[in-house]
Structure 1
Amino acid sequence: MKTISIGIAVSFFVLSLFLPSAWLAAQSEPEVPAPTDTQVSGETVVLSPFSVRATETGRYQAAEATSGARVRVSLFDTTQSVSVVTRDLIEDIGAGRILDAAKYVSGVYESTIPNAQDRTTIRGFQSDGATIDGFSHFSFLNVDPAVIDRIEVVKGPNAIIAPQGVPGGTVNLVSKKPIFQNRGSLSAQVGRWASNRAEADISRVVTPGKIAVRVVAAAQDTEDYGEHNYHESYLIMPMLTYRFISGAEITLQVQAYNALALTYGGIPISPYATSMGNWRLLENIPRDTVIQRRDASRHQSGQHYRAFFTASLLDNLSMRVAANVVHSNATSSQLNIGAITSSPVILDPLTGNTVWDGVTRNDNPQFPLGASVVWQTRTYTNLQNDYVYELDSDSWKATTVAGWAASFSGNYDDRSRNYTVPSPQELRDYVWYPYMFTSSGFDGYGHSRSRSYQFYISQVVNLLEGRLIASAGISYNNYYVDNYDVLRDLRGANAPDAWLPSAGLVYKFTPGLSAYYGYSEVATAIGPNLTGPLAFDKQSSKQHEFGMRLQLLEGRFYASVAYFDIKQDNYSVPNQLNTAVPPPPIPFPDIYSDRVADGVELQVTYNVTQNLALVSNATVMKNRDPDNMPFRGTAEKSGAVWVNYDFRASTPFKGLSIGIGADYLSKRAGDNPGGATSASTVDKVIRIQPSFWLPERTLVNVSLGYRLSEFWKAQLNIDNLLDKEYLQSSTSRQNVWVGLPRNARLMLSYNF
């Protein structure tokens, strides 16, 4: 607590020096015309180092981002891969999920649960929850894209934005902010699946040059794919920005939402599916089978409060303070499908693969069914305070960024109850009724809390008239995690700390061709083990990244290629000593070693002409555990492309725009069984391989837009144009999500 008190004291001391004069100036000066992002009364405004310019270099191109270091950086000058998904791309593809747009960033694709938790795979590492404006939180639900202005993806470990983040990277969602313009939009969308929704986005200038407000709202009432599947939600996000005459600015946001959805968990794979093939769904049931009914639901409501203050303290010293508070309540009722009672496939102990002898059959598989209900009340409180000091000369430039942050989170009501049914059921005849289940009471009831403090400083130096850029930084992080199991009256806590360095170099051979190297680290605190000692208190990850960037045609063409190598320590694998015959009376503990991921990524954005724009990517990578085992849901080859042509006024097709895209994923492990076979020896461990795989797939989507008038526009999006049957994702043999068939969505929007 002492460390955060020092940080808060420093921040309030600086604010006390600055805010009184800024407030007096704001009250005493006459009103000025509303400023744009670049001018006020004809005078050039120095943009805050904590903001990006509103203009983009192309329809799908951005020149800057703030997610890598909390300050504005050029994408061409960073020592780490940073990609931006613009609002234009989000709207052109009609994104219903953040991931629908983020997949156009190399190495990013959907993970094992497509309909909840914003679960994403980045460079082969799974990420749960969302990061909005640099603040991370866990949610049962996917974030509604209506509140998002752009998506910034930082690849690999980053000790500033996410010191406890996923090694693969961070998807930072930049929320919409007031824009000091009077404009707005209303839209309504209809379609067969996951489509029916309405949105509003209204901005107004209250006092020119001083106060602007904006309200974003969305409501959705849709039938998702599969009988009885549904999704209902609404949200509203009002916000206000106040600009001081001195140039300081404060923005306040409130985001409130309420959502209800079926807890659809997929259906089983064929009982004859093996490690080598036959990747079909369970025979004799339709692809749109949903065994849950409406009372198997996921419900969540919450409120997010965010505040951002930026100020220029001196000519070359700027400050930022950001705060975030989240409170949410969630309940999830889930139907659980167990493994079939008699499986026609067996494990080959010599290979670790599942095989079918071609004779044994089970054409009427029965599944033990159960249910569970989870109740959670979560809170998050975050505070960030950053400073930027810049020195500039004719031949060099130095930028120092320093700051601190504090994060607190708590799960203060975490209860769960499991239910069982008397006997296995045939899924094709099963209907969910809650009275069929019995329960003996709560199976879990506990509380958990965590907090972290961060202090960091980084230095960037531009030399040789900007041709050489060198950076280095250090972040100190102190963590605390505690758990309390109420039912067993067990308590435990863990409080590690970590020094996380980073460094990098960029060299520009020409103004449009550069090479870079970056090194970065993160460390994640491990929750306490309530029944025994911890093997380790944190898990650390390190990344080396090399790359080249090419920028041509006044920035309209941008391409980057990157090679990354990530190592995550303290990853467990089975201990081969447990394979001895006879087995040891007390099993030996797992062996902890490094999880390794490496690969090559290519990203291209090209504003070919004023009419034609494209974005594309490709990734070839490998992410394996210490025994070279693949991970569930990880595609080691992926790629995507989107092309849009907008007909201008001078053509016969005035007002028409056409977009077409495709995204590819190679085969992915369908489950993550782990363990070793009975044929393993002390000298040779044979790991159990994935029992089935999701086959590779390529999907094609199109968009047709037509501007009916100055104010009205219609847009038709068709997902899975070729109506390809595919398996979207899975968590086990019993839980496979079926891919969406061809789906048309029509949106009508009014802009004013």
Structure 2
Amino acid sequence: MSSSKVLRLSKLSLITSLILSGHAFAKNDKSEQQIEKIAVYGQHHKNYITEEAQSATKLGLTIKETPQSISVVSRALMDDFSLDDINAVLESTPGVTVEQIETDRTYFKARGFDITNFQVNGLGIPQSSGSIQGSLDTSIYDRVEIVRGANGLMTGTGNPSATVNMVLKKPTYTTQANASVSYGSWNKKRLDLDVSTPINEEHAVRAVFTKQKADSYLDRYETDKTVIYLAYEGKLTDNTLLSVNYVNQQKDADSPLWGALPLYYTDGTPTDYDESTSTAADWSYWDNSAEQVYVTLEQNLSATWVAKARYAHVENEQDSELFYVYGTPDKDTELGLTGYASRYDYSDKHDLFDLYASGKFDLFGQEHDLSLGVSQAKMDYTEQSLYDYTTGNGFPAMPSLKTWDGVIPQATLTDSVNGSNITNEQKSAYISTRIKLSEPLSLLAGVRYTDWKTTGTAYGVAQTQSDSQLIPYIGTVYDFNESLSAYASYTETFVPQKELDINANQLAPITGKSSELGVKAQLLDEQVFVTLAYFDTKQDGLAIAIPNSLPDDTRYYAADGINSNGFEVELSGKFTDDLSASISFSNLSIDGDDTVKDYTPENQLKVAAIYQVPFIDGLSFGANYRWQDSTSRVQVKDTNKIASVTTKQNAYGLLDLMATYKLSENIGVTFNINNTTGEKYLHSLYWAQGYYGAPRNYALSVNWQL
């Protein structure tokens, strides 16, 4: 057994022993039965939206008191519409675009920029790239919070796109247990188990297990996913709370897409393949694993002050042998494509530490808020690429994709060892405050100093960078009354980049400015929350892929500047006793990079709703609809730099429907239909290639809870 596996098992054994030292497992949190919490974060409307959000500031403010747009995808919405991974969650989030470029690699965008800020339980995970490999299963999360716009105070670095905070399920102080078994199209089988129990009045544990195996609408593609989650929470003293969380996610994929389908023929006309068409070889695979440990210690310093120390250790690994297809086929013969085999291995390790204190103080007859702290992160990653230049199987001529069955001689991937070995270190210090200038008027201000250092080599070129930035943040909120407020905010951005230019040198950091104006209101006896926001953002130095770069050796250039502006409207909550919904519309205008402007939808509409049938107890119907307008990508320009070949994706909408019926107090059945109208569409034009989304599909699940 390898040393890395021994290390993993030892960690798992340690945390399992800690958690299983109590009694049996158990159920959902009821706030009146929990231990008294040291810090309580802002409340929000119920139903499809959670009552809490903790990812915008560390000042303990409500969403209404925070001068930024915040959306929360609740556990209820994830359960109703089987939003089983983070891709599905963000597809339902206002203003977010999911750029699924391959089966096992996805980029996310908001307000025209890649989302690079991801958090778990409010702890920022520094990232220099927005792509997620494999998929992040949502069975372990209580909710997902999305703060749109720049969020430098919480994350240190990042694009002015959005911050995605995945809040882990917590142990509960009443016993609970629930299970779900589902079966769907393409032999998709899924099992979810979630048990939690108090050990005694001051200690509780929780465990979640998920297993999913599925074929696919894509030829040859199969996945096998396993998720293990263990959590402990306990009072060490009357004023000290300890929590420990362990996450292990493994996704193995056979015959995954690396790259995607060619989108035009040599005569410039668009290709039109079956939705099931795949370029993957029958021997290819892409396995992704993630292991995470989170430790949090909260100390109640007084009635209004709390100190929190947090540590996280995160490891990600990729192991793959992949097959890419490039070129432009002839329309009559379908020939002209070439295969390209590569082995790619990747691993990274993150050690993160954050220490801060927050609380209240009195001055000039008003109560104010203050938070200050320091954070440190060390991130090591290595990657290696291997090819086959000797056997003739590394770059084979391809048959027609319309008849290809994936059978091709396996390449001997041992040539041209190349890759990267990089260490990034980030240190930050920050302070923020909310000053009540008067009863209705608040001023929020803060500053974060971030120092980022990079050392190592990438594809034979030394990478040495040392960057630092002072990031200011200022905002104001004016309460017209208890239900209506207006806000404004401004911040600057700073993003180190790991992308390499044509000479394999690391690009300089991205810098930018972001501002936002908005109105927030609570209507219908505060059961419905409304947000209207206008934003304007400018960035310089953004990495843009050089056309025709190959996917394992992509080179980039720094764009002169991208400016995005637009507005977002969101309504969510309980509209009637029987109807709960989340409705949003977003508009976006981009200047400075025509490619980004073309492949990013200008308008998006998203609606999720559930209706409880009043005259049939236990019966509910729901709909989840996502619409975006047309997008395009210029593929070829003539000698005068005028587009001669352009791929277009017309505007389209996807409608998912669900029905659930409670057979008894403990057992329910849910039926889901996804892409009900059978829409055929390309997942993304983020790259010059693309592939089709899933056609109409079904799932039936049986749910039990104690």
Q: What TM-score does the superposition give when structure 2 sets the normalisation length? A: 0.87
Unaligned runs of 5+ in 1: 1-33, 343-360, 576-588, 680-685
User: What is the identity, as a one-letter code, of the residue corresponding to 1:659?
Assistant: G
Q: Does 1:701 align with 2:662?
A: no
Q: 1:508 aligns with which of 469, 479, 485?
A: 479
Compared with structure 1, are the counterparts of its residues 607 and 573 closer, same or farther at alpha carbon in structure 2 (3 Å cutoff)?
closer
Q: Does 1:668 align with 2:631?
A: yes
Do the aligned partners of 1:298 and 1:331 also contact (CA within 8 Å) in 2? yes
Q: Which residue pairs with 1:584 in the alignment?
A: none
Q: Distance between the aligned counterparts of 1:129 and 1:574, measured in 2?
A: 20
Do the aligned partners of 1:606 and 1:614 also contact (CA within 8 Å) in 2? yes
**1:83-232 matched pairs, under 5 angstroms:** 83-113=71-101, 115-127=103-115, 130-133=118-121, 134-136=123-125, 139-193=132-186, 195-208=188-201, 210-232=202-224
Q: Distance between the aligned counterparts of 1:429 and 1:119, measured in 2?
A: 30
Q: Which residue pairs with 2:580 in the alignment?
A: 613
**1:573-722 matched pairs, under 5 angstroms:** 593-624=560-591, 626=592, 628-631=594-597, 633-647=599-613, 651=615, 653-670=616-633, 678-679=639-640, 686=641, 691-722=646-677
Q: Which residue pairs with 2:55 in the alignment?
A: 67
Compared with structure 1, are the counterparts of its residues 718 and 474 closer, same or farther at alpha carbon in structure 2 (3 Å cutoff)?
same
Do the aligned partners of 2:135 and 2:251 also contact (CA within 8 Å) in 1? no
Compared with structure 1, are the counterparts of its residues 643 and 148 closer, same or farther at alpha carbon in structure 2 (3 Å cutoff)?
same
Q: Distance between the aligned counterparts of 1:738 and 1:647, measured in 2?
A: 36
Q: 2:431 aligns with which of 457, 473, 491?
A: 457
Compared with structure 1, are the counterparts of its residues 392 and 280 closer, same or farther at alpha carbon in structure 2 (3 Å cutoff)?
farther
Compared with structure 1, are the counterparts of its residues 50 and 657 closer, same or farther at alpha carbon in structure 2 (3 Å cutoff)?
same
Q: Which residue pairs with 1:295 in the alignment?
A: 283
1:126-148 deviations in whole A, cap 9, x for unaligned? 23695322332675211001011
SS at match of 2:77: helix
SS at match of 2:475: strand
Q: Distance between the aligned counterparts of 2:412 and 2:74, measured in 1?
A: 50
SS at match of 1:691: strand
Do the aligned partners of 2:534 and 2:565 also contact (CA within 8 Å) in 1? yes
1:548-603 deviations in whole A, cap 9, x for unaligned? 1121223111111111111001248999xxxxxxxxxxxxx988632111111111
- Shift in Å at residue 645 of structure 1? 0.9
SS at match of 1:495: strand
- Shift in Å at residue 458 of structure 1? 0.6
Compared with structure 1, are the counterparts of its residues 629 and 254 closer, same or farther at alpha carbon in structure 2 (3 Å cutoff)?
closer
Q: 1:271 aligns with which of 254, 265, 268?
A: 265
Q: Distance between the aligned counterparts of 2:250 and 2:619, measured in 1?
A: 36
- Shift in Å at residue 475 of structure 1? 0.3
Q: Distance between the aligned counterparts of 1:71 and 1:536, measured in 2?
A: 35
Q: Distance between the aligned counterparts of 1:416 and 1:522, measured in 2?
A: 36
Q: Distance between the aligned counterparts of 1:336 and 1:74, measured in 2?
A: 48
Q: 1:484 aligns with which of 447, 457, 465?
A: 457
Q: Does 1:447 align with 2:421?
A: yes
1:380-428 deviations in whole A, cap 9, x for unaligned? 1111111103025896221011111111111135344366334343223
- Shift in Å at residue 71 of structure 1? 4.4
Do the aligned partners of 2:635 and 2:647 also contact (CA within 8 Å) in 1? no
Q: Distance between the aligned counterparts of 2:544 and 2:679, measured in 1?
A: 38
**1:231-242 matched pairs, under 5 angstroms:** 231-242=223-234
Q: Which residue pairs with 1:320 in the alignment?
A: 308
Q: Which residue pairs with 1:10 in the alignment?
A: none
Q: Distance between the aligned counterparts of 2:187 and 2:468, measured in 1?
A: 44
Q: Distance between the aligned counterparts of 1:535 and 1:234, measured in 2?
A: 36
SS at match of 2:83: coil
User: What is the identity, as a one-letter code, of the residue corresponding to 1:656?
Assistant: L
Compared with structure 1, are the counterparts of its residues 366 and 438 closer, same or farther at alpha carbon in structure 2 (3 Å cutoff)?
farther
SS at match of 1:442: strand
Count of residues in Structure 1 that have an aligned counterpart in Structure 2: 659
SS at match of 2:540: strand
Compared with structure 1, are the counterparts of its residues 105 and 381 closer, same or farther at alpha carbon in structure 2 (3 Å cutoff)?
same
Q: Which moved more, 1:178-187 or 1:428-437?
A: 428-437
Q: Distance between the aligned counterparts of 2:203 and 2:338, measured in 1?
A: 60
1:14-54 deviations in whole A, cap 9, x for unaligned? xxxxxxxxxxxxxxxxxxxx99634689xxx4x4336556x
Unaligned runs of 5+ in 2: 1-27, 547-555
Q: Distance between the aligned counterparts of 2:267 and 2:529, measured in 1?
A: 44
Q: Which residue pairs with 1:3 in the alignment?
A: none
Do the aligned partners of 1:104 and 1:617 also contact (CA within 8 Å) in 2? no
- Shift in Å at residue 326 of structure 1? 1.2
- Shift in Å at residue 513 of structure 1? 1.5
Do the aligned partners of 1:642 and 1:661 also contact (CA within 8 Å) in 2? yes
1:622-674 deviations in whole A, cap 9, x for unaligned? 123x25444464111111101111235xx3x111011012110112234677x
- Shift in Å at residue 305 of structure 1? 0.6
Q: 1:745 aligns with which of 695, 699, 706?
A: 699
Q: Distance between the aligned counterparts of 1:593 and 1:250, measured in 2?
A: 47
Q: Distance between the aligned counterparts of 1:506 and 1:191, measured in 2?
A: 47
Q: Which moved more, 1:411-420 or 1:63-72?
A: 411-420
Q: Distance between the aligned counterparts of 1:168 and 1:689, measured in 2?
A: 32
Compared with structure 1, are the counterparts of its residues 409 and 57 closer, same or farther at alpha carbon in structure 2 (3 Å cutoff)?
same
Q: Which residue pairs with 1:470 in the alignment?
A: 443
Q: Which moved more, 1:388-397 or 1:453-462?
A: 388-397
Q: Which residue pairs with 1:378 in the alignment?
A: 348
Q: Distance between the aligned counterparts of 1:658 and 1:429, measured in 2?
A: 41
Q: Which residue pairs with 1:308 in the alignment?
A: 296
User: What is the identity, as a one-letter code, of the residue corresponding to 1:513?
Assistant: L
Amino-acid identity (%): 19
Q: Distance between the aligned counterparts of 2:680 and 2:658, measured in 1?
A: 20
Structure exhibiting the larger radius of gyration computed from Cα positions: 1
SS at match of 2:402: helix
Do the aligned partners of 1:129 and 1:139 also contact (CA within 8 Å) in 2? no
Q: Distance between the aligned counterparts of 1:213 and 1:713, measured in 2?
A: 26
